[in-house]
Amino acid sequence: MGKKDPRVDAYIAKSADFAQPILKHLRKLVHKADPDIQETVKWGMPSFSHAGIVCNMAAFKKHCAFGFWKSKLILDGKDEAMGSFGRVTSLKDLPSDAKLLGYIRKAVKLNQEGVKVPGRAKRKATPLRVPADLSKALKAAPKAAATFKALSASQRNEYVEWITGAKQQATREKRLATALKWLAGGKSYNWRYEKRG
């Protein structure tokens, strides 16, 4: 049996007046399509799961969004940024209940069968030309140069773009000095966000 989450009730209650009937209707359809659906709140919005994420909904100032986790497989390749049906401002903006129920059931079935959305083909990063000032600085700092050389093309590009993106010479010089310090410490440009083992 599915489980309702009181946080979803609270989310709906806090939403704008126009959004509340839309969110209540979508929630009701999700549970009608699959009584075993589990509710939760993920990324700050109501999310519905059965053998994996099925769909989610959100309310904004002037519109709502409703989307499927595997929308490309459910809606014949259609995949909008936030929601599968664009900006929803009233119930009229949604497909018929019968269609929505079919989509939800298809999403659950895909999860139960373990079907994954095909990933994007990875694009190989083209190395950017290393500017003369960085090249000269790396020659004078062998430890930093060794780290830079060991980085992937996209990681080297991050450093190059950061340094060359400075609008003033003083900023560029400061970034160059910081880059050398980080590289000498064996760090990529995004070292602060990388998982630490």
Count the neighbouring beta carbons within 10 Å of the beta carbon of residue 133: 14
Cβ–Cβ under 8 Å, residues 107 and 55: yes
How many residues does the structure list for the chain? 197
Question: For tokens 């000269």, what's the residue?
Answer: 136
Point out the residues of the chain with pLDDT beneath 50: 81
pLDDT, residue 79, reads 52
Q: Whose CA is closest to 57, among 29, 97, 98, 92?
A: 29
pLDDT by residue (tens digit) across 36-94? 999 999 989 999 999 999 999 999 999 999 988 888 888 765 555 456 778 899 999 99
Q: Phi-psi bin for 43: left (phi > 0), alpha (psi -120 to 50), beta? A: left
Count the neighbouring beta carbons within 10 Å of the beta carbon of residue 148: 23
Second-level CATH architecture of 6-112? Alpha-Beta Complex (3.90)
- Percent of the chain, pLDDT > 90? 69
Q: Where are the domains of the chain?
A: 6-112, 132-193
Radius of gyration of the chain (CA): 24
Q: From CA 69, how far away is CA 52, in angstroms rounded?
A: 9
E strands, the chain, in order: 38-42, 45-49, 53-59, 64-68
